[in-house]
């Protein structure tokens, strides 16, 4: 039987993330970690032969997954299997001294997560920039904004895009903040008291502290925990996956809205070069990548539910009821968010907007959206407010009724009002008001500028993020 | 970089379930389905050369996953890639006539799910039987039942086990009922109106009906839907995964309680043959398999969250925002429940109970649990109720206080009460009452018998379920 | 400070459901239950004075919530407070004999839930009928069906409505099935062994069985559990709320789609009589009730999450970590589903469809949707397939491009094709094909008929459901 | 029928939180807000009579909920009903100028949430201090730490408490950080472009900015959003409730562990003064408040699911599908977390620890936990490592077997080892090692000190938090 691949990793995630979570990728991280521990132990006076360390270093990439798997099926202890495998390759038995399994796995898994967060943070920045570029491109394309999915007031396409970008901006910042304060569990021993390390160093508290510091420095995580048990609090996993969900929010609302716009042919997610749409049904530019973005967001909610189930459920100093859950939820949440960001970046790059269709829609709705202004103009021109209001209301209601009944096919409210002597405005005056509705997008354009400036400032220190190009998506 | 495997499938699920969801397993199901459609089409008058069908049948297992993958990366259309691949292998172009992608994928995915449910149903029955066997084995081992995790009244170990079994029993029945009424989407065309099939058969409604009937018969699902759109309602996926969660409930509560019992050394999940526990810490029989069962239950909640996110979110006749979610949640939920059931079966087979430790606990608590009876006996013997109550209360409170203060290490309430003239009962009388607390497990044993009878009746038609043995677990 | 009301109950739920869950409503159910237990006890030989029972019956409705609350704040035991209050009102102390708190609360809460399910089942049937009535009304109104929110093939408005109705139909049946097999916990005592009742009846097993049977008959639940602990398995609560979520699916997808249709002015949820829309913006018929339906569905997912958190988490014979959760989730889920069904019924009654707008949309899309047929006709007329295909494709692509570029404002593909000599079809022939696209709704209308027949059959035994009218909604 | 109260608010939440969310409390906030807007408008040149503003101020607390409710049932528009009611009371019509409903409701709801967060932050600090006090009290009480719920290595009770405190500490900091950067939506108009305000001020961008600034200053929120639509991104609600869940983590794990400890009688949650436990079963100190804490945590997960359902689901510039969800989830999540913190504070204040029972447990397990040290001592004393290991292993296994078989009731491993000549250690030597296991709690005590110092530093600026006493709980 063929092996069943991790569909999120293999189908949607980028190579950089896959590399971190691949079986051999993880084992490499563990081995580097063991070597770092040994070197620190030597520095602090423990006698481990230099050639042994060299042998371990030489064996770093000599990873035989199948052999490790066979070992585990005998010992039923995954860490022990990996210790033995590394020892065998190096021909020595010096790793893992004074350590318990969790001293290895907790820290290495945190490292995997942290490195993933770093990639995802940079990719979020890249998406932010793409939002900003598109918002700028369309900042003055006036569009009929909708509330309750119904025409409401003018806005611009760019403002609409920036609106979703601002959602992502806050989330990206939070992700960036996490990179500054994410705490490692550290070398704390079986129940968190560092007993075994203290024993190893004959009770020398100072040496144990130094050992932990050096190892943490190797990991490169920005913070550390102090009074954990066997495990770090699972609220930390929840915090990370919760941020992933936050990051998904803006792209997801954007994708949902682009699906709506595609339904009106106001825009589309475009096609990748070379991709062939349905040739006989060229109008059918399905927003399938946008749909997928929404799908990823739904998936992320599921992984949040999983880590949520672990949080606040620690028994005493900890156990492994979290193990199988974290094996699934942590990598797969990283793959899902990575896929979401890659897809969003692609959509933002390829999306199209159809100003002519937008104009047609505006033409249809602007007469209605202009009624307030028309009322003011009529009053200015000397018509009584109540009389003007009555005239507008009657004609507007009749226009909608006729449009819906098929009596007319274009909005002729302007003609009706011009013909209604109660209002006292000429066709020219009325047309003038309606055509200037275009200008009624308020601060939309200025808001896009402000958004773009903030994005630029945010990306200043991350030029690589601004230059990032997504991998081709399926 | 090595491929990232589906951890649930590869590490925890059994071969039977993996087979259904493996890439090639799915493609085989699709190919069988296409052939069934062609044969039905021929029966109904369409001309497809017999040798072409034979060529398809010959190519059934000639599946080149990598080649299909390459095709998809060009067309960006997974079904089209698989059509072309099959056509190429058969040297013909007759499959998929009058069909839209969903006519293939919806039905085949339902088939995968249905076959998985059948396996999981039988496995649930196997677990039920294991509950029954263990409950019977310990049906008369009197145990101090706990509410609020504190000693309450006597029960028996067997009754406790049957209690969790009854939870699973209802869920298993529901799963069995699903096997009787799960409805296929059927061949409904792009928007559910069967337009393309009608066109194919020149508007012959009867032929279209017959075609669908034959194809559904091939699938073997027990029901069908009638007025779907492009997709079947995603509430159906929710219904299935929701039942999976129900099935997980009894095993999960059982596992949680066995973890609690292990903490008191009243029992343990045992070891598999050959497995070596910590030799120097032989008391440390970690309930890691039980912890894993709880982990699987948490995972299942996450997959429910995913399909929950799809339910009630159908836009018009449907779209593919569900696609990536279902690619993950449907197979992975099957793997997780399969792993849970395999593990539960293993634990039920290997678990141990320590009657001597149970007796020690009973001896500690039964004097307290007997106070109501002692009061009645004292009153019968002529002591005033209030006076007796006062004497019992004072001595009980003092005993607890002394135990907690370390003044005494065994419960000596009996001695105290015998020495308290207010109560008017001799040491022998008091001991008699306390020792008969053993008998105060009420209908516990009878309940186990009733449970066992129901399980036996339920398994009568499924001898293979009763005989099932779990695969070795990690 | 003013009291904070339960917003779901007070703002959205109907009186019938509120009545079941109101504080005094619950206390009344408890008192009826205690009286039923006493009467059964008397029947089985226990001596309880007839006048005491009469006194309890007389005090049934003499419920002083504030006084009970004050008692509880002293005893910190809610059941005890309610026992004392009832005893005081009746001037007797005969209730609750041989019972533990859970013998009262589990069963009465199940009764509340069961009665709510009955109401919600009937209301689901009423909604089903409303789906059927509307589907029938519009069964022949041809509409451009959409997949990916983009025009795909013709269907009818009625078929679209029936599609969501079929989703609800399965869920309603499941709810009805629950009414046939929902099991009561029964009188099982503190740890499920019926010890206290056995003591009360001097170990007479038969009498205890009879007592439980009589009390269950009073409750009127259709099934019973046999080997529970202090509590019934919380999977049972999950099962119920999970069905509530299933019931919400069809209405929720319907509401979501009606919001989409309102965006195209194909239909609207209408207004209640007397309700005034925005007079100057008469086009703005916001689908706020539909939005609320989607909101209720989201809420129900939250309550499912809560009871999900309890399932599979039973420690030993049970505890009260579920208490606060069930106090919130059980009633509030009933209120939310009730509100959802009331709102759906209102929307289905008031909704409007605008055939003229639908026709305009059809006219826009049918030329594209007819290309397959045009190709066949051209081939029939002697044109080479490849040449015809090329001609159609080029003209279709150009038409879409010109529409999006604003060069044309109506779909003129017919004219283009007529003018393209490669195709070899006249304008009349082409128009003939396109105008007959109207007939291409396949089995849509027939499917509506079949749906309606099933609904009628389902409602036959529940005339009250068919006649139900919703309460006015906010 | 009696009204149905919000059970979380009325039964568990404190007055301060209830006050913010009560119907009249909210209306008061809205009225203050309208007045602030009017005053800013006057400052910026709009003419609103001073006496009108005074009249509004005079009417601030003249809130007739029933009358407002009646209005809403007619208009079916809640904001309009409240506008009219306030106008009527003030005898003027100057509020809400240039505003849309969401300019009112979004900001006021954010204010309610923000003020709740402030209260909950201070209460989290109070709980942190209570953790610190208890940790300090028991920092040297050596306890057998458990992993997999089974004895592992020594720790101290104080360290265990500090461990859960550290979980809460990070969450509390995050909550505090939110108080520094929570952004208000501001006055943005119907689709976020500030069109109506610009119209009101004749297009004067500067005045509109100043108006918004003044109003935001009135609200007192620390940040603001810039490019929103009609609504602020619902990810912001998710962020808040997600933090609430984080805060619940430490208390929830603590409560779960105290329930476990109560099962071993190592400690209990104590009783409130005056509360009477079961007098005849004085051992039965149920951890019902701890169970409730776990219940609250489960509830919070449900409310997170609700707001999660809103996030990433914005259609265009927004709609009200979130309305009913937020009416439920936002206040109820505040009530639930408030109840959780009040309960945790109570438990931490009243909890008891039983050192004598802890000692008995230590005595039982320390011989096993000392085997590693015994091995080292034997080797030091000249015994061969393999021989010593064999002797220890055999005797340890036999001891466990005999304890479980009931052959012995106390751990006599020391005697066995002394009698086994292979080991070469005297009874005195062995006892020495075992008795010094007490000292093997590593850095537990020092970790508590470090934790306490951090808590003290954190509370320095919030003396009111340190002094907070919880309300009496049910």
pLDDT, tens digit (0-9, with 9 covering 90-100), for B15-40: 999 999 999 999 999 999 999 999 99
Helices and strands, number each (H, E), in chain D: 20, 6
Contacting residues of B for C77, CB less than 8 Å apart: none
The residue of chain A with its CA nearest to that of B77 is: A474
Is D147 in a helix, a strand, or coil?
strand
The beta-carbon neighbor of B315 closest among C183, C260, C447 is C260
Residues near D462 by Cβ (< 8 Å), separated by ≥ 6?
D122, D125
Whether residue A150 lies inside any domain: the answer is yes
On whether any CB of chain C is under 8 Å from the CB of A287, the answer is yes
* pLDDT given at position A280: 53
On whether any CB of chain C is under 8 Å from the CB of B87, the answer is no
pLDDT tens track for B284-315: 778 999 999 999 999 999 999 999 999 999 99
Calculate the alpha carbon distances from C441 to B76, B181, C258, C284 in Å: 29, 29, 20, 30
Selected residues 298-337 of chain C with any CB under 8 Å from a CB in chain B: 301, 304-305, 308, 311-320
The residue of chain D with its CA nearest to that of C63 is: D2
Chain B nearest-CA distance from C249, in A, is 4
For residue D438, the 8-state DSSP code is G
A400, A253: one domain: no
Mean pLDDT calculated for residue range A293-305: 98
Q: How many residues does this entry show for chain A?
A: 474
At C275, the pLDDT band (50, 70, 90 cuts) reads low
Chain D nearest-CA distance from B177, in A, is 29
Whether residue C27 lies inside any domain: the answer is no
The beta-carbon neighbor of C286 closest among A148, A389, A392 is A148
Among B61, B90, B119, residue at a domain's last position: B90
Torsion sign over Cα D162, D163, D164, D165: positive
C280, C368: one domain: no
- Number of neighbouring beta carbons within 10 Å of residue B469: 9
| For residue D238, pLDDT beyond 50 | yes
Find chains touching chain A: ≥3 CB pairs under 8 Å: B, C, D
Selected residues 3-32 of chain B with any CB under 8 Å from a CB in chain A: 3-12, 15, 18-19, 21-25
> What's the number of CA atoms in the CB half-sphere (13 Å) around residue B78?
16
On whether any CB of chain A is under 8 Å from the CB of B260, the answer is no
On whether any CB of chain D is under 8 Å from the CB of B369, the answer is yes
Of the two residues A202 and A336, the one the predictor is more confident about is A336
pLDDT tens track for A148-200: 999 999 999 999 999 999 999 999 999 999 999 999 999 999 999 999 899 88
Closest CA to D177 of D240, D245, D106, D94: D240
Torsion sign over Cα B75, B81, B85, B86: negative
Measured at the alpha carbon of residue A324, what is the angle toward residues A87 and A189, in degrees to the nearest 5? 50
Partners of residue A143 on adjacent β-strands: A155
Which secondary-structure segment (H or E) carries C446?
Answer: helix C444-459
Contacting residues of D for A131, CB less than 8 Å apart: none
What are the helix (H) ranges across B220-271?
235-263
Selected residues 389-408 of chain D with any CB under 8 Å from a CB in chain B: 389, 392-393, 396-397, 399-400, 403-407
Q: Which residue is it, tokens 């039982």? A: D364
Specify the CATH number for the domain of residue D233: 1.20.200.10
pLDDT > 70: what percent of chain C? 97
Q: Which residue is it, tokens 């807000």? A: D33
Whether residue B31 lies inside any domain: the answer is yes
Q: How many whole angstroms separate alpha carbon A465 and alpha carbon D353? A: 54
Contacting residues of C for A400, CB less than 8 Å apart: 282-283
Q: What is the pTM of this model?
A: 0.97
Whether residue A236 lies inside any domain: the answer is yes
Calculate the alpha carbon distances from B465 to B20, B83, B209, B351 in Å: 19, 38, 37, 20
Closest CA to A256 of A332, A340, A362, A141: A340
Backbone angles phi, psi at A439, to 5 degrees: -85, -5
The residue of chain C with its CA nearest to that of D320 is: C291
Calculate the alpha carbon distances from C473 to A464, C60, C340, C342, C346 in Å: 55, 33, 11, 8, 8
Candidates C145, C147, C150, partner chain A, best to mutate (most A CBs within 10 A): C150
On whether any CB of chain C is under 8 Å from the CB of D84, the answer is no
A325, A435: one domain: no
Chain D nearest-CA distance from C323, in A, is 7
Q: Does the beta-carbon distance from D259 to B148 stay under 8 Å?
A: yes
* pLDDT given at position B50: 96
Backbone angles phi, psi at C221, to 5 degrees: -80, 150
| For residue C159, pLDDT beyond 90 | yes
Least confident of A157-161, A394-398, D210-214, D245-249: A394-398
Contacting residues of D for C5, CB less than 8 Å apart: 3-6, 23
Measured at the alpha carbon of residue D203, what is the angle toward residues D202 and D209, in degrees to the nearest 5? 115
A459, A433: one domain: no
Whether residue C142 lies inside any domain: the answer is yes
Chain C nearest-CA distance from A396, in A, is 7
D27, D121: one domain: yes
Contacting residues of A for D260, CB less than 8 Å apart: 315-316
D323, D341: one domain: yes
Greatest C-alpha distance within chain A: 103
Q: How many whole angstroms separate alpha carbon C314 and alpha carbon C319? A: 7
> What's the number of CA atoms in the CB half-sphere (13 Å) around residue C281?
16
Closest CA to B414 of B401, B428, B402, B397: B428
Least confident of A236-240, C203-207, C469-473: C469-473
Q: Does the beta-carbon distance from D264 to B263 stay under 8 Å?
A: yes
Q: Does the beta-carbon distance from C309 to D319 stay under 8 Å?
A: no
Summary mean pLDDT of chain C? 94
Chain D nearest-CA distance from A371, in A, is 13
Name the domain count of chain B.
2
Whether residue C129 lies inside any domain: the answer is yes
Measured at the alpha carbon of residue C357, what is the angle toward residues C354 and C360, in degrees to the nearest 5? 150
Mean pLDDT calculated for residue range C64-82: 90
The residue of chain A with its CA nearest to that of B276 is: A75
Specify the CATH number for the domain of residue A435: 1.10.40.30
On whether any CB of chain B is under 8 Å from the CB of D123, the answer is no
Tokens at B291, concatenated: 């912890």
Measured at the alpha carbon of residue D380, what is the angle toward residues D378 and D386, in degrees to the nearest 5? 50
On whether any CB of chain A is under 8 Å from the CB of C147, the answer is yes
Q: How many residues does this entry show for chain D?
A: 474
pLDDT tens track for D345-385: 999 999 999 999 999 999 999 999 888 888 888 888 889 88
Chain C nearest-CA distance from A389, in A, is 8
Torsion sign over Cα D100, D106, D108, D109: positive
Q: How many whole angstroms separate alpha carbon C242 and alpha carbon C249? A: 11
Tokens at D400, concatenated: 């466990």
Contacting residues of D for C3, CB less than 8 Å apart: 3, 5, 10, 22
Chain B nearest-CA distance from C253, in A, is 4
Q: Does the beta-carbon distance from B205 to C446 stay under 8 Å?
A: yes
| For residue B169, pLDDT beyond 70 | yes
Residues near C320 by Cβ (< 8 Å), separated by ≥ 6?
B148, D286, D288, D291, D292, D295
C408, C332: one domain: no
Closest CA to A146 of B313, D104, D230: D230
Selected residues 190-209 of chain B with any CB under 8 Å from a CB in chain C: 190-195, 198, 205, 208
Q: How many whole angstroms separate alpha carbon A252 and alpha carbon C445? A: 36
Chain A nearest-CA distance from D351, in A, is 16
Mean pLDDT calculated for residue range D99-126: 97
| For residue C370, pLDDT beyond 60 | yes
Whether residue C53 lies inside any domain: the answer is no
Which secondary-structure segment (H or E) carries D266?
Answer: none
Candidates A127, A142, A150, A193, partner chain D, best to mutate (most D CBs within 10 A): A193
Chain C nearest-CA distance from B317, in A, is 6
D431, D459: one domain: no
Tokens at A66, concatenated: 């199948």
Measured in whole angstroms, how far is the alpha carbon of residue D190 from the centre of its chain?
A: 35
Query: In sequence order, what DSSP letters do the residues of C293-322 get, joined into one string?
Result: HHHHHHHHHHHHHHHHHHTT---TT--STT
Contacting residues of D for C292, CB less than 8 Å apart: 320-321, 323-324
Specify the CATH number for the domain of residue B41: 1.10.275.10
- Number of neighbouring beta carbons within 10 Å of residue C172: 26
Whether residue C225 lies inside any domain: the answer is no
Q: Does the beta-carbon distance from B327 to A7 stay under 8 Å?
A: yes
C302, C174: one domain: yes
A373, A346: one domain: no
Mean pLDDT calculated for residue range D163-191: 97
Partners of residue D328 on adjacent β-strands: none
Measured in whole angstroms, how far is the alpha carbon of residue C304 from the centre of its chain?
A: 13
Q: Does the beta-carbon distance from C4 to D22 stay under 8 Å?
A: yes
| For residue D9, pLDDT beyond 60 | yes
On whether any CB of chain D is under 8 Å from the CB of C2, the answer is yes
- CA dihedral angle for residue A274, residue A280, residue A281, residue A286, rounded to 10 degrees: -30
Q: How many whole angstroms separate alpha carbon C201 and alpha carbon C45? A: 9
Candidates B282, B293, B355, partner chain D, best to mutate (most D CBs within 10 A): B282
D470, D410: one domain: no
Q: Which domain holds residue D185?
A: 1-90+99-274+281-352+444-474
The beta-carbon neighbor of A249 closest among D230, D311, D319 is D311
Measured at the alpha carbon of residue B18, what is the angle toward residues B12 and B23, in degrees to the nearest 5? 130
Which secondary-structure segment (H or E) carries A291?
Answer: helix A288-310
| For residue C276, pLDDT beyond 50 | no
Candidates A283, A305, A356, A359, partner chain C, best to mutate (most C CBs within 10 A): A283
Whole-angstrom distance between the N-terminal and C-terminal Cα of chain C? 25
Find chains touching chain B: ≥3 CB pairs under 8 Å: A, C, D
The residue of chain A with its CA nearest to that of B295 is: A321
Strands C183-184 and C223-224: parallel
pLDDT tens track for C201-255: 988 999 999 999 999 999 999 999 999 999 999 999 999 999 999 999 999 999 9
The residue of chain C with its CA nearest to that of B155 is: C193
D166, D194: one domain: yes
Q: Which residue is it, tokens 């409503």? A: C25
| For residue B278, pLDDT beyond 80 | no
């Amino acid at each position: 039987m063929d092996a069943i691949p991790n569909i999120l990793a293999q189908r949607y995630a980028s190579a950089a993330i896959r590399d971190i979570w691949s079986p051999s990728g993880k084992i490499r991280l563990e081995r580097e970690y063991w070597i770092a521990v040994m070197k620190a132990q030597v520095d602090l006076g423990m006698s481990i032969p230099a050639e042994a360390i060299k042998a371990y270093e030489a064996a770093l990439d000599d990873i035989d997954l199948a052999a490790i798997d066979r070992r585990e099926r005998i010992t039923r202890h995954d860490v022990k299997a990996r210790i033995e495998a590394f020892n065998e390759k190096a021909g020595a038995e010096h790793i893992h001294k004074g350590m318990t399994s969790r001293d290895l796995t907790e820290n290495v898994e945190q490292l995997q997560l942290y490195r993933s967060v770093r990639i995802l943070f940079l990719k979020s920045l890249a998406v932010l920039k793409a939002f900003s570029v598109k918002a700028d491109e369309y900042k003055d394309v006036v569009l009929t904004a909708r509330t309750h999915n119904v025409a409401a007031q003018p806005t611009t396409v760019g403002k609409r895009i920036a609106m979703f970008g601002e959602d992502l901006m806050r989330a990206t910042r939070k992700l960036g903040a996490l990179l500054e304060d994410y705490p490692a569990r550290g070398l704390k021993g079986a129940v968190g008291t560092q007993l075994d390390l203290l024993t190893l160093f004959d009770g020398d508290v100072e040496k144990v502290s130094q050992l932990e510091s050096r190892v943490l420095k190797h990991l490169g995580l920005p913070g550390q925990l102090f009074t954990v048990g066997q495990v770090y609090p699972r609220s930390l996993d929840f915090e990370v996956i919760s941020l992933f969900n936050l990051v998904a929010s803006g792209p997801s609302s954007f994708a949902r809205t682009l699906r709506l716009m595609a339904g009106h042919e106001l825009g589309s997610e475009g096609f990748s070069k070379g991709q062939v749409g349905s040739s006989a049904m060229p109008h059918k530019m399905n927003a399938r990548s946008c749909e997928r973005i929404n799908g990823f967001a739904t998936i992320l909610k599921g992984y949040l539910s999983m880590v949520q189930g672990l949080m606040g459920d620690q028994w005493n100093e900890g156990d492994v009821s979290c193990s199988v859950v974290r094996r699934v939820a942590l990598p797969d949440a990283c793959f899902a968010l990575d896929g979401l960001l890659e897809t969003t970046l692609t959509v933002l790059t390829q999306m199209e907007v159809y100003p002519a269709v937008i104009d047609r829609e505006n033409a249809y709705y602007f007469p209605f959206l202009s009624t307030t202004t028309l009322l003011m103009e009529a009053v200015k021109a000397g018509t009584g407010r109540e009389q003007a209001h009555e005239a507008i209301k009657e004609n507007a209601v009749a226009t909608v009724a006729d449009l819906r009944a098929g009596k007319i096919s274009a909005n002729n409210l302007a003609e009706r009002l011009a013909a209604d002597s109660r209002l006292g405005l000429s066709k020219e005056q009325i047309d003038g008001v309606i055509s200037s509705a275009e200008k009624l997008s308020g601060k939309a354009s200025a808001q896009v500028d402000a958004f773009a400036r903030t994005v630029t400032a945010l990306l200043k220190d991350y030029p690589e993020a601004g230059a990032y190009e997504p991998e081709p998506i399926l």
